[in-house]
Structure 1
Amino acid sequence: MLTKLRGKILVVDDDETIRLVVSAILEQEGHMVSHVQNGQEAIMVARLGWPDVILTDVIMPVMDGFELVSRLKADPTTAHIPTIVMTSLGDSSARHRALSAGAEDFVTKPADEAELLTRVSNHLRLRDYYNRIVETNHGLEREIRQRTDSLVGANLETIFTLCRAMEYKDADTGTHLQRISQYSRLLAEATGMDAAFIDCLTQATPMHDIGKIGVPDAILTKPGPLNPAEWEVMRAHCEMGERLLAGSSSPYLRMGALIARNHHENWDGSGYPDGISGEDIPLPARIMSICDRYDALRSARPYKPALEHAQVMHILLSGDGRSDPAHLDPDLLAAFSRHALRFDEVFRHYRQLDECSAP
């Protein structure tokens, strides 16, 4: 035997007697009932999400039943509410018109108690099935999203581990990758980038030097200046990094490839490997260029000591003979300058982590 379902029923009719009679029949069966006298009032109640089923007359002032049904079905917030139209026994044209407008069912008027309760019960049951399907779909969506997030996280962790392996070949084995990631987030936020771009950039920037995995250790760790032949080998890490990352369906790897190839390009066209300039340089690479230079100047290398924040700011904003502000996107450099103290905070935070983890 089917379990009886109790629901919230909205009765719409301009005739008070009919409203009261229909409400009494439904209430005796255990349903909660509210009633209004025209379609306009019904829409206001329906948009509150209250009724499980709507019973409506056809001929009413202000807004009739046909317009009510049409508006309910055109509104995504109310389209799912089953609507039963009450018509006189011989009014087949009204029934066809109501069904064409989107009504789910109809009952004869004056109301036959058994027919009314049966039709309401059937639509409550369909509504219950609908709610269960929606709940199940939401659960499946959550599960798929969780599994997708877990897979993305695992993939990014693998990428980050590979980048760390490359970093151990280089001179800096500390928190360079984490710092670069946070710098890029700060600069992208400071320039109003959207959340999707910022997320992708934050994950992609640690891949910028992955091409150095193909550079001999003797060149990477050389304490003095590189000779021309060694410098050519070093410069090739940009193109090698792009080849390692290109062709992927992952947006993180695609952005990583852009950054790997272009992060040594200069705004004035004096960079490498292609000598492109201005906005021809992809935006992620222009952001990376500032972040990478800031961190490189602040970090000790075999060929140079670490510099303090104030010294680095002077070099980036005024130049030092080797670095020139003309190398950097002027708008990004201005945003960086406005938020420079936050970059210093990031560097100090991760330096403390390095010191705590040092043997």
Structure 2
Amino acid sequence: MNILIVDDNQTNVMLLKHLVMRLGDCRPATFLASPEALAWADENQADIVLVDNMMPDLDGAEFIRRFRKRAGNQDVPIVMITTADAKDIRLQALDAGATDFLGKPVDPSEFTARLRNLLSLRRHQNEARDRAVWLTGTVEQATRDVVAREEELILRLSRAAEFRDPETGNHIRRMAHYSRLIAEGLGLAPEEVTHIHRAAPMHDIGKIGVPDHILCKPGRLDPDEMAIMHGHPRIGWEILKSSDSALIAMGADIALTHHEKWDGTGYPDRLAGTAIPLPGRIVAVADVFDALISVRPYKLAWSVERARSLLAEQAGRHFDPACVDAMFAVWDRVLEIRERFKDEVPHDHSAV
């Protein structure tokens, strides 16, 4: 236990140090000048403070006041040593934050009894603090475990859709990273950016409910088939809705709204402008861009330049212009993501 002793009288310091050493398991730190003691307290944690009242630089009450303002010192027991009849001084010290008093001259028996009581108090404080830290760490770890399991479930759901969808797993990774870039560019809070990045892969989970002959058809869908395909946002919503998880709830909104258009001509609900949830507007840009530059059963891959031109052309019509601008502002990073998560099976259509 660190016992901070502050007194401008060398004889008093030596006496207090001697009494502290007799207590056992205590390490005295002695100072004749109160500013030096405060500097020590900035770098070390005192467990008990013994401070004289009459000192030239800072008196005892002012020392206590300044000591209490430093982080971690609010609960440290402080004993002021003063004359027994100094009532006004003791009131000032109590107001500054003193815990107890010892009269001059110091009685060794009283000193030992008071210090042992304060040491016991301090040990209980330290045990409570350490337990609080342990509990905080345990709760944080449990929270991380829950989040990790939640993310695993989301990835497994997304992979389940992949097995039926001709789109590749790398498409999901790319569009999730593009979504993150756009969210960052829009200035969203870090937690929301992370949620969008993690929820974006759920955008097409509703394709689980679309028949294979439509989902994998090489060529244009007829009107009836298109109507069935247009139902996949609602299926995704039904799968993910009503979750207590903020992440899955965001995934439900994305699944339902990522095919809505800024001008109100999208589906399934023909929402327009800011009536479309922002995560849906973000994912719409990321998803369409990557779909354009990727091979599908019904089309060849577009060049990056052609896909970028379409995004620019459709800003304010299909897409939220702010989302398109946010993506264009970090175009180098977009290209890095495209390169990092290239499809495993190369194709020769990228120049189309």
Residue 92 of structure 2 is aligned to residue 82 of structure 1: no
Give the alignment partner of residue 177 of structure 1, picking from 144, 168, 172: 172
Shift of residue 210 of structure 1? 1.4
Residue 324 of structure 2 is aligned to residue 333 of structure 1: yes
Find the residue that maps to 2:169 and give its secondary structure.
Answer: coil
Instruction: Provide Cα deviations, 1:200-255, integer angstroms capped at 9, x if missing partner.
Output: 11110011111222222222222232233332222222223223222212110111
* Residue number in structure 1 paired with 2:350: none
Q: 2: distance between equivalents of 1:115 and 1:148? A: 49
Q: 2: distance between equivalents of 1:129 and 1:190? A: 49
Residue 34 of structure 2 is aligned to residue 34 of structure 1: no
Tell me the number of residue pairs that the alignment of Structure 1 and Structure 2 aligns.
Answer: 344
Amino acid aligned to 1:335: A
Residue 312 of structure 2 is aligned to residue 317 of structure 1: yes
Find the residue that maps to 1:175 and give its secondary structure.
Answer: helix
Unaligned runs of 5+ in 2: 347-352
Shift of residue 50 of structure 1? 4.0
Alpha carbons of structure 1 residues 278 and 216: separation in structure 2 relative to 1, 3 Å: same
Find the residue that maps to 1:9 and give its secondary structure.
Answer: strand
Residue 118 of structure 2 is aligned to residue 123 of structure 1: yes
Shift of residue 130 of structure 1? 2.7
Partners of 2:217 and 2:298 within 8 A in 1: yes
Relative to structure 2, which stretch is displaced further, 324-333 or 248-257?
324-333
Partners of 1:241 and 1:257 within 8 A in 2: yes
Amino acid aligned to 2:4: L
Give the alignment's Cα RMSD to 1 decimal: 2.8
Query: Aligned runs of 1:223-302 on 2, under 5 Å?
Result: 223-302=218-297
Q: 1: distance between equivalents of 2:7 and 2:219? A: 91
Give the alignment partner of residue 211 of structure 2, picking from 216, 225, 231: 216
Amino acid aligned to 2:337: V
* Residue number in structure 2 paired with 1:9: 3
Alpha carbons of structure 1 residues 125 and 164: separation in structure 2 relative to 1, 3 Å: same
Identity of aligned residues (%): 37
Amino acid aligned to 2:299: K
Relative to structure 2, which stretch is displaced further, 85-94 or 231-240?
85-94
Alpha carbons of structure 1 residues 306 and 126: separation in structure 2 relative to 1, 3 Å: same
* Residue number in structure 2 paired with 1:103: 98
Shift of residue 51 of structure 1? 2.4
| TM-score, length of structure 2 as denominator length | 0.85
Q: 2: distance between equivalents of 1:219 and 1:58? A: 88
Q: 2: distance between equivalents of 1:50 and 1:149? A: 31
Amino acid aligned to 1:207: M
Alpha carbons of structure 1 residues 100 and 174: separation in structure 2 relative to 1, 3 Å: closer
Shift of residue 79 of structure 1? 0.6
Alpha carbons of structure 1 residues 31 and 146: separation in structure 2 relative to 1, 3 Å: closer
